[in-house]
Amino acid sequence: MHEHRTGMCDFTSRYRITRLVYFETTTNPIAAIAREKELKGWLRARKIALVEKDNPKWPDLAEELMLKKAEQQILRCARDDIRSSG
């Protein structure tokens, strides 16, 4: 995410993409690639409808994701500390 936001990726720097407005998660890399290919084949209007279904005001979701990730890391460290001290 950092590389995309700072323009280190060709696509995002070329088109000046700075906001994350939609994402999906999976633990299966093959499914992720298949889904990405599926979405790339959609018309723009269908992609916009997909974004607006879950994110109608189009705020940047990257900060929220990074905050959740940081919170998860803090919780993980706290659990590890409790286990190691017990």
pLDDT, tens digit, for every residue of 6-60?
A: 778 888 888 888 888 999 999 999 999 999 999 999 999 999 999 999 999 999 9
Average pLDDT over residues 57-79: 82
71: left (phi over 0), alpha (psi -120 to 50) or beta: alpha
Output phi, psi for 43, to 5 deg.
Answer: -70, 155
Alpha-carbon dihedral of residues 29, 31, 52, 73, nearest 10 degrees?
Answer: -30
pLDDT of residue 75: 79
pLDDT of residue 86: 60
Q: Given the structure tokens 């993980």, which residue do they identify? A: 76
